[in-house]
Chain A
Amino acid sequence: MSSRETARAGIAPNDKSDVVAGPSSVLRKAATIVFTRYATVLLLVLFAIVFSATSPQFLTAANWQNLLVVQAVVSCSAFAAILPLVVGEFDLSLGNMIGFLTMLGAFLSGQGYEAPTVIPVMLLGGVLVGLLNGFLTVYFQISSFIATLGIGILLSGVTMGLSGGQVLFDGIPQMILSVGQGHFLGLGVTVWLTAIIAVILLYVLEQTPFGRKLYAVGGSERVAFLAGIRTGLLKIAAFALAGLLIGIGAIFALGQNGAANAGFGPELLLPAYAAAFLGVTTYRPGYYNIPGAVIAILLMAVGFNGLNLLGAPFWVQPIFNGTVLVVAVICARAESRRTK
């Protein structure tokens, strides 16, 4: 599924009309809606029931606190992946960018800089890299695949250069460590902050003209342009916001790990896109959306956690994640075909 295809799929379906156009039987209609629109939610509930029945530790508060706290970085990466996807572009630099920004923060910390300097530099660094991705894509007309891949590779080199090939852990500011490892009302601070970010993004994407324009650009850039929307500017803004979110994720990562190593980051790219694609199947089928991505992240997290608690061999988890992704996307394609 290309970004263009899915973006087009996102603009096509009408939330209300596709429900009306279903089978005549009310029961069948309801079942169709549930299976096509909330397949991942159903899977999540199903897994939660299965793991609760098979592992006494699964449904404990401590387990859920632990389960949620490690999703903060993945969530920021997934949200960052969604914004360029909404405007019909890919950002393949996300993994290397989070590694670079984490290393940048650790490097500055090691130089004696405190949180009031380190945090803004990490955020600003993310925005600047995002802007660069946007400019390369919009003004130089380079495919976002190639431009962001190139920037990602470039960043990986800078990351290694900053690290000197070592794990950097000296002088990480206490404020960053407190954000990463602190708790508030029984949950990790990063969990609360991630929830707040999700709510803000949901509001911006669905309740503001800016958000609707982003979806319009992703649906058809030409139509949006003819309608007077500054498509290039919006695309650059989407990349820049993605960079900002990656900057936030990098602060979470630095705080949680307490150090940075040059290898960190790239492994987050695929889970981020998996969550974004899985999210298309839920809440607003056919659209890249934040609630869908959150459900997808939870689904994968529950799978990882539940399988770990059951003592499943290490090779089972990728099989689980891959199967869930394929099944959910099949559901989304079925929904997309049905509504065309």
Chain B
Amino acid sequence: MREFLFDTAARLRTIAGTAIVAGSIGAAPIASVSTAAAADDGVLQAARSMTPPDYAGPTIPAKAPKDIKIAVVTCLSVLHGCVSPADGIQHAGEKLGWTVKVYDGGGTPNKQNAAILDAISSGANVIATIAIDPNLIQLALSEAKKAGIPVVAGSNGIDTPNPVKAPANGGLGFAFDVSPDYGTLGVHAAQWMIADSNGKANIALFSDREFPSIMAQEAGILQGLADCKTCTVSKQIYFTATQIASQLGQMTVDYVRSHPDVDYIYGAFDPPVAAQVAALMQAGMANRVKIVGALGNQQNLNFIRAGRLQVADMAYDNEYMGWAMVDQTIRLLNKQPLIEPHGENLPFVILDKTNLPAPGADWQAKTGYQDKFLALWK
């Protein structure tokens, strides 16, 4: 509520002279970004290139145990970003002869707790969760601990290379969390916007504080934009997941109408961006702003393809995430040291109209990582 008052008092602030609260992002930026210069093709090209440029996953062998039953609990099985890492686990598990069963977390703490408890009952050896906040499933984590079943995670952004966030009050957490480096991903997206706008981007920054991954990404965006002295960025406009379907679209239209100088929107992740695109199109603002999202959802990639407001997307390889989760799980079961960073250098990229995958396909790193993982697990 207090922030609402602050928001209405001072909507926009310039980056210049403004201290950015975000923590420093570990990875180096792509390149120094010239301000108010012509579109920096080098920076754009670097952002469009995969990071890391080649396979940078584990190289230490870890023999896969046999007959493992792994239960995968997704955050919500109608969301592609929740399901695709589970697909990766399934594909890797099939190669190892493991039994992989996928449970729908239903998008709510109550159902996520219930799904994990069902996974415990099913006799799983390991439970893998996708984008589920450990703070909200303490009951299930407590039961898993009692049953001696390790719970691992992906896509939360609470473990290396992201800032490590242990659950509060000594609560239970995950054995590890495999995620991309959200901070560096944010820096790259910021540099893409600076270069695309010739250093003149006026950005409305929408974000969601419910998810640590989004907060790490936001920190990266702010750090990246700090390099641009001639850009402006709004104070963060926070929304919640429950507002995406009902209110975010109108919020965005109202914001853009009342801030005619805004020409870029950072939409935090793809589902809210989809709502923003639809609302702005309906409001006749198809050419008013350029939107940048994250996750690499195919609907959003189609927006970029069709030139419908969204111009770029921060994408990472969810299939790789699944394989990396299996890799770290093998090491955990073998009592081997986990690979550092725990995200196993998950590849990511900034997608725009120049480097989109084929229609209907997710972006994937073409490094042959599946064969490399399989060779390590023999």
Contact = CB atoms under 8 A, between A and B. Distances in A.
B122 A66 contact: no
B121 A164 contact: no
Interface string B155-169: 000000000000111
A69 B146 CA distance: 15
User: Which of A66, A160, A267 has the largest count of B CB atoms less than 10 A from its CB?
Assistant: A66
A155 to B, nearest CB: 12
B22 interface: no
Given A165-B210, A308-B103, A257 B114 contact: no
Contact of A304 (B114, B133, B136, B208): B114
Interface in A159-180: 160-161, 163-167, 169-172, 177, 180
A130 interface: no
B98 interface: no
A179 to B, nearest CB: 11
A263 B210 CA distance: 10
Nearest to B117: A66
Nearest to A264: B109
B163 to A, nearest CB: 16
B242 interface: yes
B241 A263 contact: yes
A314 B114 contact: no
Nearest to B100: A311
B139 A181 contact: yes
A164 B3 contact: yes
A317 B133 contact: no
B240 A160 contact: yes
A181 B138 contact: yes
Interface string B1-34: 1011000000000000000000000000000000
Interface in B104-161: 104, 106-111, 113-115, 117-123, 133, 135-139, 142-143, 147
Given A62-B147, A66-B117, A263-B241, A167 B138 contact: no
Given A165-B239, A257-B109, A170 B168 contact: yes
Contacts of B113: 70, 256-257
A161 B208 CA distance: 14
Nearest to A160: B240
Interface string A207-235: 00000000000000000000000000000
Interface string A135-170: 000000000000000000000100011011111011
A67 B143 CA distance: 12
Interface string B33-75: 0000000000000000000000000000000000000000010
B356 to A, nearest CB: 28
A165 B139 contact: no
Task: Say whether chain A's binding surface is mostly helix, strand, loop, or mixed.
Answer: helix
B240 A70 contact: no
Nearest to A188: B139
B121 A262 contact: no
B238 interface: yes
Contacts of B259: none
A63 B121 CA distance: 5
A261 B208 CA distance: 12
Given A181-B138, A314-B104, A66 B118 contact: yes
Contact of A73 (B110, B142, B167, B210): B110
Which of A60, A67, A166, A180 is the most central at the interface, judged by chain B CB atoms within 10 Å of its CB? Answer: A166
B207 to A, nearest CB: 8
Nearest to A102: B109
A167 B239 CA distance: 12
Interface in B80-108: 101-104, 106-108
Contacts of B107: 263, 267
Contact of B109 (A58, A66, A261): A261
A307 to B, nearest CB: 9
Given A67-B121, A161-B1, A305-B118, 18 more contacts: A58-B121, A63-B121, A66-B117, A69-B117, A167-B133, A167-B210, A169-B135, A180-B139, A181-B142, A257-B138, A258-B139, A258-B171, A262-B240, A266-B242, A267-B110, A268-B110, A305-B121, A314-B78
Interface of B: 1, 3-4, 74, 77-78, 101-104, 106-111, 113-115, 117-123, 133, 135-139, 142-143, 147, 167-169, 171, 208-210, 238-243
Interface of A: 55, 57-58, 60, 62-63, 66-67, 69-70, 73-74, 156, 160-161, 163-167, 169-172, 177, 180-181, 253, 256-259, 261-264, 266-268, 304-305, 308-309, 311, 314, 317
In the A-B complex, the 5 residue pairs with the closest CB atoms: A258-B138, A314-B104, A66-B117, A314-B77, A63-B121
